Amino acid sequence: MTTTASVTEQLAGRLFEAGIGAFELTTVLLGERLGLYRALVDGPRTAAELATATGTDERYVREWCEQQAVAGLLAVDDRRHFALLAGSEAVLIDELSPVYLVQIGAFVESLGKVLPALQEAFRTGAGVPFGDYDVQHAQGALNRPVFHHQLVQEWLPQVPDLDARLRAGAAVAEFGCGEGWAAIALAVGYPDVRVDGFDVDPPSIATARRHAEAAGVADRVQFTVADVTEVEGSYDAVFAFEMLHDLAHPVAALQAARRITDGPVVVMDERVAEKFAAPGDPMERFFYAVSVLHCLPAGRCEHGSAATGTVMRTDTMRRYATEAGFAGVTVLPIEHDMFRFYRLER
């Protein structure tokens, strides 16, 4: 039988563990930015050796190493040599790994910057601008592995007519391209495709251009600072990867997509539950927390915002598509823990 005392104890314990997690996530981000994890790739080091290798202060590094060992994030032997755990490189170092999660810490970091504005937004109903969070790099880093490993190799081949069109050469528009990883993956995977990426965030576009140059596809991938509701041109397909729920005016964006192509419009958004239910599983908890702290506030910065938030259910997607003039929405048979794929039918 659940008692008031047991609920109090469980909730207090849960919040304490959550606090530890937030603190440890921040120390992980610190280790990544200082190159501490990378300096351990070649083998164990003492704190002094690690400090020398990374140009950091030995006393701080010793405390960090001991904290990481106590947290179970690094291994340590009796001589105080610290080492990476077997297999941890995929989580802490490899930026193309599907489980590279270090950059979640950057979202925690950003919340300290915007919390006063977020509190005021709750009182007034205003928004908190996306740029104020300064998380575009973290967001790009979290999505990069799936675009690199799965977009062309696994996901799009499950849409045969679209895959064939892309392999034959096509002009593609990507709405909300961020730092460009999806557009680059399309260009690399389909050598005859031309991709135009659009995003309203200038720093993201500047970074995307550098990434395209480094990937050797800048001759076929162009990035432009633009409100996606105002995009013009003629394209064979339009993609909107994990961005529609962030927009103040998602229907206008879908209308723009319908205007510029008579081909497929593919939307990838969060795989949230079809209906509200509480309590939720870890993924639903994650999506709701992100919505409260980031996506809903960022999406409310314009007059008349749809105020969608991260939890955009399938029924909402269908309603937006209908209002934009599409005949229907097909949920594509692409399985992923975080994402759901929609094809909008003309």
* Domain boundaries of the chain, sorted by first residue: 4-92, 106-345
- In angstroms and rounded to an integer, the radius of gyration of the C-alpha atoms of the chain is 22
Q: Which helix (H) or strand (E) holds 225?
A: strand 221-225
- Classified as helix, coil or strand, 87 is coil
pLDDT digits (tens, 9 = 90+) for 100-156: 999 999 999 999 999 999 999 999 999 999 999 999 999 999 999 999 999 999 999
Look at residues 241, 207, 221 and name the one whose alpha carbon lies nearest to residue 341. Answer: 241
Specify whether the CB–CB gap between 40 and 82 falls below 8 A. yes
How many Å apart are CA 217 and CA 191, to the nearest integer? 9
Q: Which CATH number fits domain 4-92: 3.90.25.10, 1.10.10.10, 3.40.50.2000, 3.40.50.720?
A: 1.10.10.10
Among 146, 142, 137, 140, residue whose Cα is nearest residue 100: 142
User: Is the confidence at residue 1, as pLDDT, over 70?
Assistant: no
pTM recorded for the entire structure = 0.93
pLDDT tens sequence across 188-223: 999 999 999 999 999 999 999 999 999 999 999 999
Tell the CATH topology of 106-345.
Rossmann fold (3.40.50)
Who's near 43: CB < 8 A, 6+ residues apart?
83
Does the fold of domain 106-345 match that of domain 4-92? no
In the chain, the percentage of residues whose pLDDT exceeds 70 is 99
- Torsion-angle region of 269 (φ positive above 0: left; ψ -120 to 50: alpha; else: beta): beta
Alpha-carbon gap, residue 18 to 20, rounded angstroms? 5
- What is the DSSP secondary-structure string of 268-302? EEE---SS--SS--HHHHHHHHHIIIIIHHHTTSS
Of 24 and 4, the structure prediction assigns the larger pLDDT to 24
Question: For residue 88, how far is the Cα from the chain centroid?
Answer: 21
pLDDT digits (tens, 9 = 90+) for 293-330: 999 999 999 999 999 999 999 999 999 999 999 999 99
Q: What is the β-pairing status of strands 74-76 and 339-345?
A: unpaired
Q: Give the pLDDT confidence score for residue 3 in this predicted structure.
A: 82
Pairing of strands 194-199, 237-241: unpaired
CA pair distance 206, 250, nearest whole angstrom: 24
SS3 of 80, please? Answer: coil
What pLDDT score does 71 carry?
98
